[in-house]
Amino acid sequence: MKILVINAGSSSIKLALYTWNDLNCIAQGLVDFGVGAGSAEISLQYHDGVSKTRVPATSYREGLLSALDSLKNAGVIESNTEICAVGHRLIHGGETLREPVVIDEEVKKIIRSFRPLAPLHIPAGLEAIEAAESLFPWAVQTGVFDTGFFADIPPAAYLYPVPYEWYTEWGIRRFGYHGTSHRYACERAAEMLDRDLTSLRLITCHLGQGSSASAIQGGKAVTNTMGFTPLEGFMMGTRSGTVDPGIITYVQKHYGLTVEEVEEILHKRSGLLGVSGVSGDYRQVYEAAKAGNPRAKLALEMYAYRVRAMLGALAVTMGGVDALVFTGGIGENARELRADICRGLECLGLELDPERNAHATPDAEISAASSSGRILVIHSREDYILAREAKRLVEKREKTDVASVKASEK
């Protein structure tokens, strides 16, 4: 038996295949629909090789089916029927869905209701669920919600200083995102530090195309830099992050921008792209900065400054920090950015070792020997959390079914 893990984005699907008994990852892949109309590029890594193919695909179902065919051709699986559970990463469950769930029609209905809050992510997640249901009707579909990790954030942290009725009547509050990544990062950090997670004050910093940080105390999230939507917080690839809300009403009033135009600009034409004028891809902006592009240099300076400032605020909410964790595609690989962010965090007891940072490969420690707080780089493994929770939910469901049968026999 095997568990298929799906992390669906707006133009791609990350997938992983896990064995049931020991939760060993035997294959990982990416189905990229951004390579041309009517086609997808499938990149796979498995036990004894890698493969990359371009196939006709116009839907998530076709892309997934082609990826599975490639895994069968490589001998990773013999039949689709080996897949007994499918674990989905889902971005938003609101206050209703806080724990991992078995997905049914009611769950899909609730997820659909949050579409306006994450218009890039939620439709993709729902399409992936429907594709998996079609391909594996016998398998149990499970979901882990990014927002669920932040269920214990206190009201003082999740409420905004606006009329209280906005929360009670409209549900406006901080939710937090990237919860699956933050969950794995804090658990792995505790292992690396050989400490009980409940004894630690951690800041987990997920830096990717979308980025956020979480303050985690006693094993529970205290707050997250993202808010009601994934637009708040750090400057990101194409997202603005936190800006003065007065700017929004100002450009609407004085320059005639519509609500739709402002929303599109803040989500897709801001961040690294908006400032640099080069790209929303950190790597391309970094190369442009090295080549002397002044706006690219400014964009990177702003990025590091805003991350550093928010990390300081998170540390203060906990009265200090025992360890800072970098994770996510940028956090794991951009050593220059890590150095820029940490420059100034010495006042929090976080001192970077330049040599360790320059040569670090996740999972690794990059703090100096004299640093009272630890600095770690951890490979993000959201897929493992999804597989683990899928197995737990299936086993729980089986135990419940057995108990029901025994009760009916009495």
- The answer to whether 148 is a known ligand-binding residue is no
CA–CA separation, 162 and 173 (whole Å): 10
C-alpha 9, offset from chain centre: 10
- The answer to whether 7 is a known ligand-binding residue is yes
DSSP string, 321-381: -SEEEEEHHHHHH-HHHHHHHHTTGGGGTB-B-HHHHHH--SSEE-B-TT-SBEEEE----
Under 8 Å between Cβ of 340 and 297: no
- The answer to whether 28 is a known ligand-binding residue is no
- The answer to whether 332 is a known ligand-binding residue is yes
Marked catalytic residue, from 48, 69, 104, 146: 146
CA–CA separation, 378 and 328 (whole Å): 8
Burial of 72 (0-12, 13-18, 19+ CB in 10 A): middle
Under 8 Å between Cβ of 120 and 91: no
What is the DSSP secondary structure assignment for residue 304, as one 8-state letter? H
Report the residue count for the chain.
410
Residue 208, Ramachandran bin (φ over 0: left; ψ between -120 and 50: alpha; else beta) = beta
Neighbours of 124 (CB within 10 A): 20
- CA-wise closest residue to 151 among 93, 103, 199, 207: 93
- The answer to whether 80 is a known ligand-binding residue is no
The question of whether 146 is a catalytic residue gets the answer yes
- The answer to whether 208 is a known ligand-binding residue is yes
- The answer to whether 283 is a known ligand-binding residue is yes
174 φ, ψ (degrees, to nearest 5): -75, 135
- The answer to whether 217 is a known ligand-binding residue is no
- The answer to whether 184 is a known ligand-binding residue is no
- The answer to whether 207 is a known ligand-binding residue is yes
Burial state string for 192-201 with b = 16 or more CB within 10 A and e = fewer than 16: ebeeebeebb
- The answer to whether 356 is a known ligand-binding residue is no
- The answer to whether 363 is a known ligand-binding residue is no
What is the DSSP secondary structure assignment for residue 278, as one 8-state letter? S
- The answer to whether 333 is a known ligand-binding residue is yes
Rounded to 10 degrees, what is the CA torsion of 204, 208, 209, 215? 0
Residue 350, Ramachandran bin (φ over 0: left; ψ between -120 and 50: alpha; else beta) = beta
CA–CA separation, 48 and 71 (whole Å): 12
- The answer to whether 206 is a known ligand-binding residue is yes
Burial of 400 (0-12, 13-18, 19+ CB in 10 A): exposed
- The answer to whether 34 is a known ligand-binding residue is no
The pair of three-digit structure tokens given for residue 304, joined into one six-digit string: 């590091």
Q: Which residues belong to the annotated binding site for Mg(2+)?
A: 7, 382
Q: Which residues belong to the annotated binding site?
A: 7, 14, 89, 206-210, 281-283, 329-333, 382
Q: Which residues belong to the annotated binding site for substrate?
A: 89
Q: Which residues are catalytic?
A: 146
